[in-house]
Amino acid sequence: MPELPEVETIVHSLFPALVGKTILSADLLWPRTLAVPSPASFKKNIRGQQISSITRRAKFLDLELSSSHLLFHLRMSGDLLVVLGGYQPAVHDRLILQLSEDSRLIFSDPRKFGRVWLVKDPAGIFQDLGPEPLSENFTGSWLFNALHARHRQLKPLLLDQAFLAGLGNIYTDEALHLAKLHPLSRSDSINRKQAERLCQSIREVLEEGIRRNGASIDWVYRGGDFQNHFRVYGREGQPCPVCGTKIERITIGQRGTHFCPHCQLRAKMRYPVK
């Protein structure tokens, strides 16, 4: 499942191929791919719009058009590709946008969880998202306060897109190991120093993921090789890169979670002394 670095990698790869192109027509091969508007209105409104920019917000791709925004969420298995030359639609293609005589943007999605929106203003769709972890707003002191405003376990809280945008299972496990924090620690047990370290660790693993063009797990990315540099994710039974202890795997909220039982101790709850 693509997370922030993988979506960022796709944005970078599509940018030169798409910006400046005009969408001539849309072929919607699986109508439920479209969240809004109706298929008829989508096909009518998108025609003739020029793509002026592509950005990322959380795990959304945001294509800015002449008079609307075309948003994609890839979810489990979605992918976006620009194909040049003659093209025969493949079995998992859900939407094909004709860009010129011989160039198309293909949204393919074997598992059909991905979604597409065509809206005037994306703010309504982004309104429930937490801050971007690579933005200036994401600081150790913001994180400390936000962690203490919740009373939840760290792992599920970090996966919650309303708390922080863009993290998924892989980068959360990697960041918690780098920060030496146990995934089951309570958010309100984290002290300021640990919150600062967690903030830095989240940035570091995401930046490394982007630098390595993402991780290619269950997914064909753009040559990403971060999977060869995982500290804990998918490494159950293998030695921790820091201390050599065997990495353990537990299930938290139905998500496989990998951690080092030696490096990542559970923070002790401290109660205010009255």
- Contacting positions for Zn ion (CB under 5 A): 240, 242-243, 245, 260, 262-263
Question: Is 272 an active-site residue?
Answer: no
Question: Is 43 an active-site residue?
Answer: no
| Minimum CB–partner distance for residue 232 and Zn ion (Å) | 9
DSSP code, position 43 = H
Amino acid at 220: V
Of 21, 112, 255, 266, catalytic: 255
Question: Is 136 an active-site residue?
Answer: no
Of 3, 6, 8, 174, catalytic: 3
| Minimum CB–partner distance for residue 235 and Zn ion (Å) | 11
Question: How is residue 53 written in tokens?
Answer: 């920019």
Residue 195 or residue 240: which is nearer to Zn ion going by CB? Answer: 240
Residue 27 or residue 248: which is nearer to Zn ion going by CB? Answer: 248
Of 5, 8, 56, 59, catalytic: 59
Write out the E strands in 66-197.
69-73, 79-84, 93-100, 103-108, 115-119
- Tell me if residue 273 falls in helix, strand or coil: coil
Residue 71 or residue 260: which is nearer to Zn ion going by CB? Answer: 260
CA 157/CA 265 separation, integer angstroms:
18
Question: Is 207 an active-site residue?
Answer: no
Helical H segments across the chain, by residue range: 4-18, 39-46, 123-126, 140-148, 154-159, 169-178, 192-211
Query: Are 16 and 88 in contact, with CB atoms under 8 Å apart?
Result: no
| Minimum CB–partner distance for residue 231 and Zn ion (Å) | 9
Catalytic residue set: 2-3, 59, 255
